[in-house]
């Protein structure tokens, strides 16, 4: 149930590239955390030039006009090592599948208790059970 929201520059990525961004994010769960590929809940939002402000060099990066911000709602049971694996995998797959420079990928993982997710039917499917993945 990691839920992705990618904030991308408007008109910069083609429809195919937008789909490839989503596919890369989905695949990062499979490859980075061993989550089934069916666990796919992803939004992209385009922002015009006057709606997206990302510093070109902060923290030693060389960011381009392709730079994007990705937020991920992620189970708060994940240890540091898994979170680092996920961030590395997202960045690697966006490079492989979309050609996005690793310097252009900003990620924030927002921790959420597993019992706070409903996959449908208004039920908290993960309440009271230990995480499967």
Q: Where on the chain is the footprint of its own copies (CB under 8 A)? A: 1, 3, 5, 7, 15, 18-19, 22, 26, 36, 38-47, 50-55, 57-61, 63, 69, 71, 73, 80, 83-84, 87-92, 102-113, 115-125, 127
What gap in Å lies between CA 107 and CA 2, rounded to an integer? Answer: 13
Q: Residue 68's closest CA among 38, 45, 42?
A: 45
Nearest to 105 by CA among 11, 25, 42, 14: 25
Compute the least distance from the CB of residue 90 to its own copies, in Å. Answer: 7
Neighbouring C-beta atoms of residue 101, cutoff 10 Å: 15
Closer CB to its own copies, 12 or 112, in the complex: 112
- Token pair 């030693």 is found at 60
Question: How far apart, in whole angstroms, are the C-alpha atoms of residue 80 and residue 51?
Answer: 32
At its nearest, how many Å lie between its own copies and the CB of residue 91?
3
Smaller CB distance to its own copies: residue 55 or 77?
Answer: 55
Q: How many CB atoms lie within 10 A of CB 109?
A: 19
Question: Closest distance between its own copies and the C-beta of residue 41, in Å?
Answer: 6
Q: How far is the CB of 25 from its own copies (least distance, A)?
A: 8
């Amino acid at each position: 149930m990691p839920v992705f929201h990618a904030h991308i520059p408007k008109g910069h990525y083609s429809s195919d590239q937008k789909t490839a961004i989503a596919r890369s994010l989905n695949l990062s769960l499979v490859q980075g955390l061993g989550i089934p590929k069916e666990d796919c809940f992803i939004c992209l939002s385009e922002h015009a030039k006057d709606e997206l402000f990302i510093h070109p060099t902060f923290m030693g990066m060389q960011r381009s006009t392709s730079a994007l911000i990705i937020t991920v709602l992620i189970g708060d049971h994940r240890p540091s090592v898994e979170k680092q694996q996920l961030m590395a995998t997202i960045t690697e797959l966006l490079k492989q599948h979309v050609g996005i420079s690793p310097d252009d990928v900003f990620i924030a993982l927002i921790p959420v208790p597993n019992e706070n997710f409903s996959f449908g039917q208004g039920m908290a499917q993960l309440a009271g059970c230990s995480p499967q993945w």
